[in-house]
Structure 1
């Protein structure tokens, strides 16, 4: 997830295109939803509006929250008004681009640092986000592409998990609206094959439970409480560091992403793994997210859709 300097103008334009198209879609959807009821009924009954529940404070412990922002509403519903000036003001309020999207657009226009994922790799996830957002999106890793993912999930909740505290602070200074948490990993890349054998041979690694109560050595237990208690619609594994033998590697992140997906109450979770050209990402994604659940691979990214196993524990194997 670290930034990589490139001079590619194309990928910057595509990112801007994604964000602008996404915002246009939100505006059109909001305009449709706000006008249709009034067209059907010119004298609608008064509507009682309730406020959203406030987000619960993250669990402290050994984890440090880098930043937390309230979930932004995708757009506001325009109230009816007899005043033309008031109507113009309401319309501007409903269609005005939000500050976080402004910051994201300006950032990608003015920087030479672009995401490490290619255009085609980004498109795999962005297509799902355009369909599912606003949704709950968990990302292992924090980087220069994080504002893009957060913006593409505008109105939803996007959470980033990062291993490097100093890197969190650096990103936090530029993008204070990103919600991120520090997570510590105990594994090392040189342990990968040993952990693979444990995951394949030990029965506790095939049990579909909350990762916090799992007895499998691959289950991550040091994440914030709300990460475990949220049913994520999308999970992307693009961290921790995995390019040298003493790095943490993504073994436990991949396994835990699959376990959380299986343990959700109902529905399915979209899981993406980047850098599958490397041995760990290749073998662990196929082994624990399962080739039978793989939907596509584009370049170095794989997309899996993992259904809930909780209602079919007795009949559903860990891998189909």
Structure 2
């Protein structure tokens, strides 16, 4: 009996243990299945959210590409002209459109050089937003002010040593040195020609300019520098191109002024006139051979009073 009882006791003691072990295994199994289920649900939710976010991002990118943001320079230009519509020193619509049309016709981004920081400065930068636009001004303080106020503007100052009252002597000096220091094809950086601007940043002499606008320096009193040097420099830069489009458009604003017409007659030449009307002279110059010693094909002198408003294709 003791043995039986002892054996039964052992059975009674073992039986609860086995049940407990089985319950524990089932509990672990249930926990594991629950964990897998939860993990699956979380993965499903995360995947759906990721797809949704990806879709929204793709839509946003597509929208951004389809509707590009307006360049900052354009915004500033619009604000500028909206707030200065009564300015009396601005160019006429006709004059601005002439230059704008040429900029739009560039087969590649235009290199645009402007003598003078004027009311149209922001406009020129905006119209040539894909190209390089450089401004040259006689006032170093104003050039620094413009660059600080509008960081997208590239401006440099230059010191003019000429006087409007000395125009006849200066033109005569160029004619005397046309085969040497005042050649129509040269790097003005190394020139001592009296009308050549040789203190611009070195890099500017290496650029093939597509469009040049002479709208400075300011002033038409006898002691003012006049625009003789700017026009002469534009003429040399246009004829000294090394590559790119062999033609350069040169615009001279305030073309109704005698000094500008006479200087243009000497260095830009009448055979290159595209349009001359009131305030704007438009010339198209072609690059020349490095051995050239004459600016114009015709060397006959003309009086500025004989200029008439003209319009021709070219």
Q: Same fold (TM over 0.5)?
A: yes
Higher relative contact order, structure no. (Cα contacts within 8 Å, ≥ 6 residues apart): 1
CA deviation vs aligned residue, 1:150-191 (integer Å, no higher than 9, x gap): 000011110101111222244334423211011111111111
Q: Would you say 1:120 and 2:60 are equivalent positions?
A: no
Q: Distance in 2 between matches of 1:111 and 1:117?
A: 13
Match 1:309 to one of 271, 275, 288: 288
Q: Distance in 1 between matches of 2:253 and 2:197?
A: 19
Q: What RMSD in Å do the two structures reach over aligned CA positions?
A: 2.1
Match 1:108 to one of 73, 78, 81: 81
CA deviation vs aligned residue, 1:190-248 (integer Å, no higher than 9, x gap): 11111111223433324521112334221111111111111111111111123111111
Match 1:155 to one of 113, 130, 134: 130
Q: State which structure, 1 or 2, has the greater radius of gyration over its C-alpha atoms.
A: 2
Q: Would you say 1:187 and 2:146 are equivalent positions?
A: no
TM superposition outliers: structure 1 runs of 4+ over 3 Å: 82-85, 112-115
In the other structure, the counterpart of 1:175 is 150
SS of 2:103 mapped into structure 1? helix
CA 1:83–1:272: 2 relative to 1, 3 Å:
same
CA 1:113–1:223: 2 relative to 1, 3 Å:
farther
Alignment of 1:240-251 (within 5 A): 240-251=217-228
8 A contact 1:273–1:303 mirrored in 2:
yes
CA deviation vs aligned residue, 1:256-308 (integer Å, no higher than 9, x gap): 11001111014111111111111211100111011111111132111111111
Q: Would you say 1:89 and 2:80 are equivalent positions?
A: no
Q: Distance in 2 between matches of 1:200 and 1:295?
A: 25
TM-score normalised by structure 1 residue count: 0.69
Q: Distance in 2 between matches of 1:189 and 1:301?
A: 20
In the other structure, the counterpart of 2:229 is 252
Greater percentage in helix: 2
Q: Distance in 2 between matches of 1:299 and 1:207?
A: 27
Alignment of 1:257-296 (within 5 A): 257-266=234-243, 267-296=246-275
Alignment of 1:35-114 (within 5 A): 83=55, 85-93=57-65, 95-112=68-85, 114=87
Residue 113 of structure 1: how far off its partner (Å): 5.0
Deviates more, 1:247-256 or 1:198-207: 198-207
Residue 84 of structure 1: how far off its partner (Å): 6.2
Q: Distance in 1 between matches of 2:82 and 2:225?
A: 33
Match 2:209 to one of 232, 249, 256: 232
CA deviation vs aligned residue, 1:123-161 (integer Å, no higher than 9, x gap): 111110111163110100112210000000011110101
SS of 2:268 mapped into structure 1? helix
Residue 108 of structure 1: how far off its partner (Å): 1.2
Q: Distance in 1 between matches of 2:231 and 2:209?
A: 14
In the other structure, the counterpart of 1:142 is 117
CA 1:126–1:176: 2 relative to 1, 3 Å:
same
